[in-house]
Amino acid sequence: MADRLAILDYDRCQPRRCSLECIKYCPGVRMGEETIVMDEDLGKPVISEELCSGCGICVKRCPFEAITIIGLPEELTEDKIVHSYGKNRFRLYGLIAPREGVVGILGPNGVGKSTILNILSGALIPNLNDFNEEPNYDKVIKYFSGTELQKYFEDLKNGNIKPVHKPQYIDVLPKVVKGTVGELLKKVDEKGLFNEIIDVLEIKNILNRTLDNLSGGELQRVAIAAACLREGDIYYFDEPSSWLDVRQRFNAAKVIRKISEEEGKKVVAVEHDLIVLDYLSDYIHIMYGIPSAYGVVTHPRGTRVGINTYLNGFLREENIRFRKNPIVFEKRPPANYSNRPLLLEYSKVTKTLGEFKLSVEGGTIHRGEVMGILGPNGIGKTTFVKILAKIIKPDEGNVSSGDIKVSYKPQYISSDYDGTVRDLLMSITNINTSFYKSEIIKPLSLEKIMDFDVKDLSGGELQRVAIAACLSRDADIYLIDEPSAFLDVEQRLNVSRTIRRMADEKDAAMFVVDHDILFQDYISDRYIVFSGEVGKIGKGSSPLDKRSGANKFLKEMNITFRRDPDTGRPRVNKEGSQRDLYQKEIGEYYYVDE
């Protein structure tokens, strides 16, 4: 039985453009073994994992870096594979069993989280790594004999349970669903909760619009509403917080949690915002592995223990370490940057765009400082950043300051660049230095996509390239708008550390707009808080110390936080709990243990 995986990236592998170096230089092939052969139907090489010696020559010789040879832990035997997408392709080890309450799934992109939801929702029958026969539920039921999943798949096969699935990729909905938002939601309302759901999810003002005229955040809320209005036994939500601001994320979490409180209902959610996942879940399954190669499901843990274990990077029971260093949040206020050189001083600025009016109080920023910008969507955060970037001129006020150079990463990233990632980054700076490779390329995991065309990148890949491009420019101030969008937890933590290091290394200042509060808490020294009326009036504060800024923002959100005693990460108090009520009474929404 093979003790390693041979993974072939079908997108990167281009046999017509190479000399089949993988076959040509393979020692096994040279000795007459069929270690690597061409599959005429696939038009791709196939690697025998049983015959592969793990020498790695094919990995080094492949001109497109399409091959990965991975040594497996001894316990990951072939008979534990629940699903595989084909020979030399991704494999999933293990599965979760839905239970009462909300079960969260936590792990990096590409290790099988969405595959699990597709299997449990009935959209995909697992093949148990058998490519000779069509997958069928009888084999799956036999495979899980004696476990909770045996009964689950029996019920799924016989139609005794009704799963409801909110998919990850909501942008395809306008292509398959026609009509207005109101017509769609009334059509799927099987619970009679139409008015309640559209009120909580703030959908009232878009009921007469068609799906193809909605923004990403609006489309996400409609997809969540549609799932919540349907009558089912088990509900699957794949990344429900994407595109949503902080208020909308917690409104969505409240609606989803309420489903789990109905008799007999179960909920499973995949989520990358750790604060939302913490608030939403009763149990956590951590997943680890190598993206696009294999994924492993761990046993369930309590929410707090599960998230702390993930941040620690060590699975004690499995004896697996998947992160070199644990992530620990500051439990005390960050360093005071007022003694650092002053970089920028700006006056109060105002700007009117149609019916929207923005005013932002003046302030200062120092070298090496990271300024977090908090506030709901449609309140003027991006407009303010564009004023700082001198893309938009203010009606009143001034932000210019001599020869200060600015680098800007916009919220919406274009993929129109005609060339590879390497070409793009080389057009900005010399990327071949050891500093650039260690401080930007490696932490942002760009090594494997350097020769990909920018126009072919996924949302997460494009985001990381855009962040790298922004940080590659020689500048005094970096303006970074929503860097965590499309990124998984691991990537968000890597991006936050990269931005933090670049502020120190370049002695530059950073303005960072983002809706992930844990991301902002980890990265920011001070906050600028935006409030007002969405789409009409936006008011930005002067820069506030971290505690004052967080208190102001959380009070407007009507949310209180506490600090986890082990990791220092912020956690949301359950609404109406004794601690929540106490903190609101004393005005400490952002609680820091002393």
**Residue 48, domain CATH:** 3.30.70.20
Give which of 350, 309, 387, 334 is closest to 104, Cα–Cα.
309
Same domain, 571 and 444: no
Q: Kindly state the tokens that stand for 253.
A: 């979490």
Q: Strand locations in 144-238, DSSP E? A: 163-166, 234-238
Question: What is d(CA 471, CA 435) in angstroms, rounded to the nearest whole number?
Answer: 13
Q: Kindly state the tokens that stand for 173.
A: 């909905």
Cα angle 95-97-99, degrees, rounded to a multiple of 5: 155
Question: What is d(CA 194, CA 178) in angstroms, rounded to the nearest whole number?
Answer: 19
Same domain, 515 and 379: yes
Same domain, 484 and 376: yes
142 three-class SS: helix
Question: What is d(CA 221, CA 30) in angstroms, rounded to the nearest whole number?
Answer: 58
Q: Is residue 151 part of a domain?
A: no
Full pLDDT tens readout for the chain, 594 residues = 456 788 898 888 989 889 999 999 999 999 999 999 999 888 899 999 888 888 889 999 999 888 988 877 666 777 789 999 988 899 999 999 999 999 999 999 889 999 999 999 999 999 999 988 899 999 999 999 999 999 999 999 999 999 999 988 887 888 888 889 999 999 999 999 999 999 999 999 899 999 888 888 899 999 999 999 999 999 999 999 988 998 899 999 999 999 999 888 999 999 999 999 999 999 999 999 888 889 999 999 999 999 999 998 888 887 788 887 787 776 555 567 677 888 998 999 999 998 899 999 999 999 999 999 999 988 999 999 999 988 899 999 887 666 889 999 988 787 788 899 999 999 999 998 988 999 999 999 998 889 888 988 888 899 999 999 999 999 999 999 999 988 988 899 899 999 999 998 999 999 999 999 989 988 999 999 999 998 899 999 999 998 899 999 999 989 999 988 888 888 999 888 999 999 999 999 987 553
Question: What is d(CA 71, CA 79) in angstroms, rounded to the nearest whole number?
Answer: 17
**Measured between alpha carbons, how far apart are the two ends of the chain, in Å?**
55
481 three-class SS: strand
Q: Is residue 470 part of a domain?
A: yes
Who contacts 104 (Cβ-Cβ below 8 Å, separation ≥6)?
A: 268, 269, 270, 271, 277, 280, 281, 283, 284, 285, 303, 306
| Cβ count near 354 (within 10 Å) | 7
Same domain, 430 and 564: no
Q: Give the sign of the dihedral formed by CA 518, CA 524, CA 527, CA 533.
A: negative
Q: Is residue 61 part of a domain?
A: yes
Q: Is residue 170 part of a domain?
A: no
Task: Point out the domain boundary residue: 14, 42, 71.
Answer: 71
Same domain, 492 and 363: yes
CATH of the domain at 493: 3.40.50.300
What's the confidence (pLDDT) of residue 594?
Answer: 39
Q: Is residue 232 part of a domain?
A: no
Task: Point out the domain boundary residue: 71, 100, 124.
Answer: 71
Torsion angle (degrees, nearest 10) of CA 192, 250, 301, 101: -10
Task: Point out the domain boundary residue: 71, 92, 118.
Answer: 71
Same domain, 563 and 540: no
Who contacts 530 (Cβ-Cβ below 8 Å, separation ≥6)?
A: 373, 374, 375, 376, 379, 380, 381, 384, 538, 539, 540, 541
Same domain, 357 and 410: yes
Q: Is residue 373 part of a domain?
A: yes
Give the residue numbers spanning the domain of 435. Answer: 339-544
H-assigned helices in 355-488: 381-388, 421-426, 434-436, 459-472
Q: Kindly state the tokens that stand for 581.
A: 């009520």
Same domain, 412 and 497: yes
Same domain, 378 and 524: yes
Same domain, 576 and 437: no
Q: Is residue 141 part of a domain?
A: no
Q: Give the sign of the dihedral formed by CA 52, CA 56, CA 60, CA 65.
A: positive
Give which of 469, 427, 428, 415 is closest to 446, Cα–Cα.
469
Question: What is d(CA 549, CA 527) in angstroms, rounded to the nearest whole number?
Answer: 5
Same domain, 386 and 505: yes
Structural domains counted in the chain: 3
Same domain, 425 and 574: no
Q: Is residue 160 part of a domain?
A: no
